[in-house]
Amino acid sequence: MTRPGTIIVGASHGGVQAAQSLRQADYTDPITLISDERGTPYHRPPLSKGYISAPQSGPSLLRPETFFAASDITLLRGTPATDLDRTARSLRVGDQTLHYDHLILATGASARRLPDAEFRNLHTLRNASDSAVLSAELPAARSLVVIGGGFIGLEVAATAAKLGLSVTVVEVQPRILARALPEAVSAHIARQHQQAGTRLLTGVSLGAITGRNGRADTVTLSDGTALAADLILVGIGSQPNTALAIDAGLALSAGGILVDDHLRTSDPAIFAIGDCATFPSPFAPTPVRLESVQNAVDQAKCVAACITGTPLPYSAVPWFWTEQFDMRIQMAGLPCDGGQLLLRGTPDSGSFSVLHLIGDQLVGAYSVNATADHIAARKLIPSGIRIDPALACDTTRPLKHCLTDSAVSA
């Protein structure tokens, strides 16, 4: 008798990787991958960059269309999953009732929207459809106002500035990327945007958006500043897609679906991965929810190993990246309090890193056009190897060789 197999809800980076990793581990039971989008699963990072300026080629696919049939993975598109019944181990997809042995929730997150703001030229950016709609309006636009100085907003701002638009970024915090990056790194990024002509307004919040005939034309800020806007992008964060989990009574924490160190939810037959999951990390004092391709992909591999009988606790070091203008900004580790920040290199050179040490242990690294530092940091952070701060400031020495004498001896 054929077993129900594994159902994966969500066909972005984590969901697709989970299906592939199961097959690579010789999992032979059925795999069903459910996508609420109609197209073939695609890479999301380019949506705020290259895809906006050249959408005609379509988004870059995560796997070729032929991959799913060749791997015996059933891909259901264009219909969301509903009615999760944990007792029957079933859920609905359109007019079908599907049963599972294992269920993986890779439902991702949705962009936060402004309440009571409905204008045709007011956009958020989370999927290919959002990016295509925004891209279609760019050629006729002269000005763009970005609400929120986070990664998505700044990536779109950089793309729009390169296309010749007048761009203003509005950020409520005293500086852009204040929660994600040290001041030296965010200040360098701010300078690059300003040199491209972008106006950065920090420490000020949105007051109102007004317009006529269904289109916004003015953004008024809390200090009374009025900004003309042909286009508006709202980049004020995201909220995890947890409706299916909430309806099924699964435990939540910090806004996401709570999982253990093997990524199991409060129901042992159900896992959650990626943007929707809140998980314990050896690099954070309390459970965290992370939005990154790396986290989703590594968690997918962890769950596949658990399902196929080789379970290991999830312990991957978190890392992230963003590309803006000619900057490739890479981060390893998670922001935390205490310790010291070391500047390795100089921002004026265009290539530098800020290292976060607690004692002589590296806990975080923030690199701008310094990929070798980033790669070394991803190995040094989980190893616990001790770093010599004086050596770490010397850019003539590779970071991986900036160890204390005792660490070298060991």
Structure tokens of 113? 């929207």
Instruction: Give tens-digit pLDDT for 254-313.
Output: 999 999 999 999 999 999 999 999 999 999 999 999 999 999 999 999 999 999 999 999
Considering only CA atoms, which of 7, 5, 12 is closest in space to residue 241?
A: 12
Instruction: Give tens-digit pLDDT for 183-226.
Output: 999 999 999 999 999 999 999 999 999 999 999 999 999 999 99
pLDDT surpasses 70 at 407: no
- Region at 406 (left for phi over 0; alpha for psi -120 to 50; beta for the rest): alpha
Distances (CA, A) of 133 to 10, 118, 129, 380, 386: 22, 15, 6, 42, 49
Instruction: Give tens-digit pLDDT for 326-382.
Output: 999 999 999 999 999 999 999 999 999 999 999 999 999 999 999 999 999 999 999
Are the beta carbons of 9 and 31 closer than 8 angstroms?
no
Instruction: Give tens-digit pLDDT for 13-40.
Output: 999 999 999 999 999 999 999 999 999 9
Question: How high is the pLDDT of residue 406?
Answer: 56
Q: How far apart are CA 284 and CA 279, in angstroms?
A: 10
